[in-house]
Structure 1
Amino acid sequence: MNEFDNRSLSDAELYFWLCQMARQLDSGIVIVNTKKGYTIEFVNHVFSHMTDYNEHDMIGMTIDKLRGQLTDILNEEAIQESIENGLTFKTSSLHYRKDGSTFWNEVNIIPMHNQFGELQYSVLMMRDLTDSINVEALIELEREVYFSLENGDSFERIMNKICSTVSATFGKKCFSSIVLVDDYNRMKYVYGELTEEIHFLDEELLLVGLTFNENTSIKKPVIIKNLSESQYNKIFKPLIEKHPFVSLWSQPILNTEGKIIGLFSIYFEQQAEPLAADFKFLNRVVPIVTLAVKYYEQKNAIRQLIYQDASTGLTNFEHFKNKMMSLIEHGYEGALCIIAPGEYQNIVDLQGRQAGDEILRQLAGRLQKLTTFNDSIIARYTSSSIIVASRSTNQQVRIPQQEIDDILFEPYYINDKETYLTLKIGTASFNDNEPFIDAIRKSDIALSNALKASGTVVKRFEQSQIESVEQEMNVLAHITKGLKNNEFLPMLQPKVNIATGEIESFEALARWVSSEIGFVSPAVFIPVAENTGNIYKIDRAILRKVLQWLEERVALGLKLYQVSVNISPSHFYNAGFVENSIALIESYNIDPKYIKFEITESIELDNVMRAKKIINELKANGIDTAIDDFGVGYSSLSYLQKLPFEEIKIDKSFVDNLADPRMNAVVKTIIQLSKNLNMISVAEGIETKEQHEELKRLGCQTGQGYYYFKPLPLEEINKLLEESVPV
Structure 2
Amino acid sequence: TKEQEMLEKISTTFISVNTENVKEKVDEMFGMIAKILNFDNAYLFELDAGYEIATILNMYVKDIESKSPPFYPGTKFKTADFPEVKPLIAQNLPILCEDVSNISVEKAENQRNFFASRGINSFFALPITVDKKTDGFFVIEYRDRSDKRFTESRLYFLKIIANILGDARKKILYEERIYNIAYFDETTKLANRNMLKKNLEQILHVRKESEKIVIFDVELGNLRMINDTFGHRIGEQVVIESAAILKNLMKEECSISRIAEGKFIIIMPTAENAEQIQECAEKIVDAFSNPVLPKEGREALFVTVVIGISIYPDDGKDVNTLLQNADLAAYEARSNNENIVFYTKRLESNIAENTLFTNKLFKSLQNKEFFLEFQPQISCDTGKTVGIEALLRWTSDGNKRIPPDRFIPILEQTGLIYDVGLWVLEQALQEHNRLAAKGFPSLRVSVNLSVVQFRNENIVSDISKRIEKSRVNPKYIELEITESMFSKNPVEVLKKLHELKKLGISIAIDDFGRGYSSLNRLKLIPFDRIKIDKDIIDYIDLERKLAPLTEIIILLARAFKAGVTAEGVETKEQADFLRSISCDEIQGYHFSRPLSPEALEEFLKKNYQ
TM-score range, shorter chain: 0.5 to 0.7
Equivalents in 2 of 1:423, 1:452: separation in Å? 13
Q: Does the C-alpha gap of structure 1 residues 526 and 440 become closer, same or farther in structure 2, counting only changes over 3 Å? A: same
One-letter amino acid of the structure 2 residue matched with residue 583 of structure 1: K
Equivalents in 1 of 2:240, 2:494: separation in Å? 38
Q: Is residue 646–residue 679 contact of structure 1 (8 Å, CA) maintained in 2?
A: yes
Paired-residue identity, %: 29
The structural deviation recorded for 1:584 is 2.0
Q: Map 1:625-636; keep pairs closer than 5 Å.
A: 625-636=507-518
**2:188 matched residue in structure 1:** 312
Report the secondary structure of 2:537's partner residue: helix
Equivalents in 1 of 2:459, 2:226: separation in Å? 32
Report the secondary structure of 2:387's partner residue: strand
Q: Map 1:26-175; keep pairs closer than 5 Å.
A: none
After superposition, give the CA deviation of every residue in 1:93-132 in whole Å (9 maximum; x if it has no partner). Answer: xxxxxxxxxxxxxxxxxxxxxxxxxxxxxxxxxxxxxxxx
- Match status 1:302 vs 2:185: no
Equivalents in 2 of 1:620, 1:586: separation in Å? 14
After superposition, give the CA deviation of every residue in 1:300-336 in whole Å (9 maximum; x if it has no partner). Answer: 7332566654443434432332232233233434222
Q: 1:323 aligns with which of 184, 199, 209?
A: 199
One-letter amino acid of the structure 2 residue matched with residue 590 of structure 1: V
Equivalents in 1 of 2:291, 2:431: separation in Å? 56
Q: Does the C-alpha gap of structure 1 residues 416 and 579 become closer, same or farther in structure 2, counting only changes over 3 Å? A: closer
Q: Does the C-alpha gap of structure 1 residues 440 and 395 become closer, same or farther in structure 2, counting only changes over 3 Å? A: farther
Q: Does the C-alpha gap of structure 1 residues 493 and 403 become closer, same or farther in structure 2, counting only changes over 3 Å? A: closer
Q: Is residue 408–residue 421 contact of structure 1 (8 Å, CA) maintained in 2?
A: no
Q: 1:687 aligns with which of 570, 579, 584?
A: 570
Equivalents in 2 of 1:298, 1:503: separation in Å? 77
The structural deviation recorded for 1:383 is 3.5
Gaps of 5+ in 2: 1-172
Q: 1:495 aligns with which of 377, 382, 387?
A: 377
Q: 2:525 aligns with which of 643, 648, 654?
A: 643
Report the secondary structure of 1:362's partner residue: helix
**1:552 matched residue in structure 2:** 434
Q: 1:438 aligns with which of 310, 316, 321?
A: 321
Q: 1:534 aligns with which of 408, 413, 416?
A: 416
- Match status 1:336 vs 2:215: yes
**1:716 matched residue in structure 2:** 599
Report the secondary structure of 1:723's partner residue: helix
Report the secondary structure of 1:678's partner residue: coil
After superposition, give the CA deviation of every residue in 1:46-86 in whole Å (9 maximum; x if it has no partner). Answer: xxxxxxxxxxxxxxxxxxxxxxxxxxxxxxxxxxxxxxxxx
One-letter amino acid of the structure 2 residue matched with residue 322 of structure 1: K
After superposition, give the CA deviation of every residue in 1:597-616 in whole Å (9 maximum; x if it has no partner). Answer: 11222224545554444344
Q: 1:379 aligns with which of 244, 257, 262?
A: 257
**2:244 matched residue in structure 1:** 361
Q: Is residue 314–residue 378 contact of structure 1 (8 Å, CA) maintained in 2?
A: yes
Equivalents in 2 of 1:576, 1:385: separation in Å? 33
Report the secondary structure of 1:691's partner residue: helix
Q: 1:669 aligns with which of 549, 552, 565?
A: 552
The structural deviation recorded for 1:367 is 0.8
Report the secondary structure of 1:685's partner residue: coil
**1:565 matched residue in structure 2:** 447
Equivalents in 1 of 2:363, 2:330: separation in Å? 31
Q: Which moved more, 1:607-616 or 1:584-593?
A: 607-616
**1:398 matched residue in structure 2:** 276
**1:624 matched residue in structure 2:** 506
Q: Is residue 332–residue 391 contact of structure 1 (8 Å, CA) maintained in 2?
A: no
**2:287 matched residue in structure 1:** 408
Q: Is residue 192–residue 257 contact of structure 2 (8 Å, CA) maintained in 1?
A: yes
Equivalents in 2 of 1:393, 1:403: separation in Å? 12
- Match status 1:389 vs 2:267: yes
One-letter amino acid of the structure 2 residue matched with residue 640 of structure 1: L
Equivalents in 2 of 1:408, 1:402: separation in Å? 11
Equivalents in 2 of 1:462, 1:573: separation in Å? 34
The structural deviation recorded for 1:513 is 1.1
The structural deviation recorded for 1:458 is 2.3
Q: Does the C-alpha gap of structure 1 residues 447 and 696 become closer, same or farther in structure 2, counting only changes over 3 Å? A: same
The structural deviation recorded for 1:416 is 10
After superposition, give the CA deviation of every residue in 1:538-568 in whole Å (9 maximum; x if it has no partner). Answer: 1122222222223333444443322111122
One-letter amino acid of the structure 2 residue matched with residue 339 of structure 1: V
Equivalents in 2 of 1:353, 1:408: separation in Å? 19
Q: Is residue 313–residue 361 contact of structure 1 (8 Å, CA) maintained in 2?
A: no
With normalisation by structure 1, the TM-score equals 0.53
- Match status 1:594 vs 2:476: yes
**2:40 matched residue in structure 1:** none
Report the secondary structure of 2:557's partner residue: helix
After superposition, give the CA deviation of every residue in 1:182-225 in whole Å (9 maximum; x if it has no partner). Answer: xxxxxxxxxxxxxxxxxxxxxxxxxxxxxxxxxxxxxxxxxxxx
The structural deviation recorded for 1:358 is 3.6
Q: Map 1:442-521; keep pairs closer than 5 Å.
A: 442-452=325-335, 454=337, 457-516=339-398, 518-521=400-403
Q: Does the C-alpha gap of structure 1 residues 694 and 415 become closer, same or farther in structure 2, counting only changes over 3 Å? A: closer
Report the secondary structure of 1:527's partner residue: helix
Q: Does the C-alpha gap of structure 1 residues 663 and 314 become closer, same or farther in structure 2, counting only changes over 3 Å? A: same
Q: Is residue 396–residue 429 contact of structure 1 (8 Å, CA) maintained in 2?
A: no
One-letter amino acid of the structure 1 residue matched with residue 361 of structure 2: I
Q: Does the C-alpha gap of structure 1 residues 451 and 536 become closer, same or farther in structure 2, counting only changes over 3 Å? A: closer
Q: Is residue 426–residue 458 contact of structure 1 (8 Å, CA) maintained in 2?
A: yes
Equivalents in 1 of 2:582, 2:294: separation in Å? 51
Equivalents in 2 of 1:426, 1:554: separation in Å? 51
Equivalents in 2 of 1:559, 1:388: separation in Å? 61
Q: Does the C-alpha gap of structure 1 residues 327 and 566 become closer, same or farther in structure 2, counting only changes over 3 Å? A: same
Q: Is residue 432–residue 445 contact of structure 2 (8 Å, CA) maintained in 1?
A: no
Higher RCO (C-alpha 8 Å, min separation 6): 2
Report the secondary structure of 1:705's partner residue: coil
Q: Is residue 288–residue 305 contact of structure 2 (8 Å, CA) maintained in 1?
A: no
- Paired residues, number: 424
Equivalents in 1 of 2:363, 2:307: separation in Å? 36
Report the secondary structure of 2:392's partner residue: strand
Equivalents in 2 of 1:413, 1:633: separation in Å? 22
Q: Is residue 428–residue 442 contact of structure 1 (8 Å, CA) maintained in 2?
A: yes
Equivalents in 1 of 2:287, 2:536: separation in Å? 28
The structural deviation recorded for 1:627 is 1.5
Q: Is residue 488–residue 542 contact of structure 1 (8 Å, CA) maintained in 2?
A: no
Equivalents in 2 of 1:613, 1:355: separation in Å? 29
Q: Does the C-alpha gap of structure 1 residues 707 and 355 become closer, same or farther in structure 2, counting only changes over 3 Å? A: closer
Q: Is residue 488–residue 541 contact of structure 1 (8 Å, CA) maintained in 2?
A: no
The structural deviation recorded for 1:380 is 3.2
Report the secondary structure of 2:524's partner residue: coil
- Match status 1:429 vs 2:311: yes
The structural deviation recorded for 1:640 is 2.1
Report the secondary structure of 1:582's partner residue: helix
Q: Is residue 411–residue 420 contact of structure 1 (8 Å, CA) maintained in 2?
A: yes
The structural deviation recorded for 1:396 is 4.8
Q: Does the C-alpha gap of structure 1 residues 639 and 403 become closer, same or farther in structure 2, counting only changes over 3 Å? A: closer
Equivalents in 2 of 1:681, 1:397: separation in Å? 42
Q: Is residue 395–residue 429 contact of structure 1 (8 Å, CA) maintained in 2?
A: no
Q: Which moved more, 1:635-644 or 1:434-443?
A: 635-644
With normalisation by structure 2, the TM-score equals 0.62
After superposition, give the CA deviation of every residue in 1:334-393 in whole Å (9 maximum; x if it has no partner). Answer: 222222344555676563424412421331232116xxxxx4443333343332333337
Equivalents in 1 of 2:362, 2:512: separation in Å? 32
